[in-house]
């Protein structure tokens, strides 16, 4: 009677769906149940096209919105999901070890593939995230900072910046559409002390066999 409580364990869990329950679950006179607590663990937690193993998702109300805690070997941090429409989701993570179907540590499952193709970027709220330990596939990219904003039919990556001792990446661009209609246009600036190791970490090792530097 006092509100919604959800607990349990699932083989696969879509984090955005449950965070959406948290955003829509507050009682604003529309007859919905107020959120009390979500505490669900998943063998594979899906988030924006990536899959994270053995991760616990906890959601509870806090001032101005909902607080989300994520804890697992590849994903750990806290996020604030605001009540206000159009306000940015903000968060800080100790680690985000991103694994996609293109750079898996094990064979991708059907759920991994579906998680990437079914994401509608137009429904992703603005993001403002900081990460202390960001890895993409086997590439350690150090600290990361992400800022996005909505655009017609998708989202704009205003800034994705990573900083590690050996690699420095800056990305901006747009992601629109979904499924077969998905389109991504990004500009990537890379400053690396070991480009071969970086490419190998991305899962493309051996595909760059020889290169020459321009003359001074």
pLDDT tens digits, one per residue of 155-204:
999 999 999 999 999 999 999 998 888 999 999 999 999 888 888 888 77
Cβ atoms 178, 117 nearer than 8 A = yes
DSSP reduced 3-state for 9: strand
Lookup result for tokens 């941090």: 77
Q: What is the side-by-side strand order in the sheet with 183-192? A: 4-14, 35-47, 50-62, 65-71, 75-82, 89-98, 127-136, 139-151, 154-163, 167-176, 183-192
CA neighbours within 13 Å on the CB side: how many for 99?
19
The total of other beta-carbon atoms located within 10 Å of residue 209's CB is 6
Strands 35-47 and 4-14, sheet pairing: parallel
Res. 206: pLDDT tops 70: no
Cβ atoms 150, 126 nearer than 8 A = yes
pLDDT at residue number 123: 84
Average pLDDT, integer, range 38-62: 92
Spatial distance between the Cα atoms of 108 and 99, rounded to a whole number of angstroms? 9
> With bands split at pLDDT 50, 70 and 90, how would you rate the model's confidence at 152?
very high
Res. 205: pLDDT tops 90: no
Average pLDDT, integer, range 42-49: 89
For the chain, counts of helices (H) and of strands (E)? 3, 11
> With bands split at pLDDT 50, 70 and 90, how would you rate the model's confidence at 105?
very low
């Amino acid at each position: 009677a006092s509100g919604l409580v959800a607990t349990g364990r699932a083989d696969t869990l879509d984090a955005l769906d449950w965070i959406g329950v948290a955003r829509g679950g507050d009682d604003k006179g529309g007859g919905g149940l107020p959120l009390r607590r979500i505490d669900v663990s998943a063998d594979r937690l899906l988030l924006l096209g990536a899959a994270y193993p053995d991760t616990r998702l906890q959601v509870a109300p806090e001032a101005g919105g909902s607080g989300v805690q994520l804890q697992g070997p590849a994903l750990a941090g806290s996020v604030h999901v605001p009540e206000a429409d159009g306000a940015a989701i903000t968060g800080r993570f100790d680690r985000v070890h991103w694994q996609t179907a293109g750079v898996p540590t094990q064979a991708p499952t059907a759920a991994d593939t579906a998680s990437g193709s079914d994401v509608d970027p137009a429904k992703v709220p603005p993001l403002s995230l900081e990460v202390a330990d960001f890895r993409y596939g086997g590439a350690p990219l150090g600290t990361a900072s992400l800022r996005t904003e909505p655009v017609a039919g998708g989202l704009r990556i205003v800034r994705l910046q990573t900083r590690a001792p050996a690699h420095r990446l800056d990305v901006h661009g747009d992601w629109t559409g979904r499924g077969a209609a998905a389109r991504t246009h990004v500009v990537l600036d890379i400053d690396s002390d070991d480009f071969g190791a970086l490419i190998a970490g991305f899962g493309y090792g051996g595909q760059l066999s020889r290169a020459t530097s321009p003359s001074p």
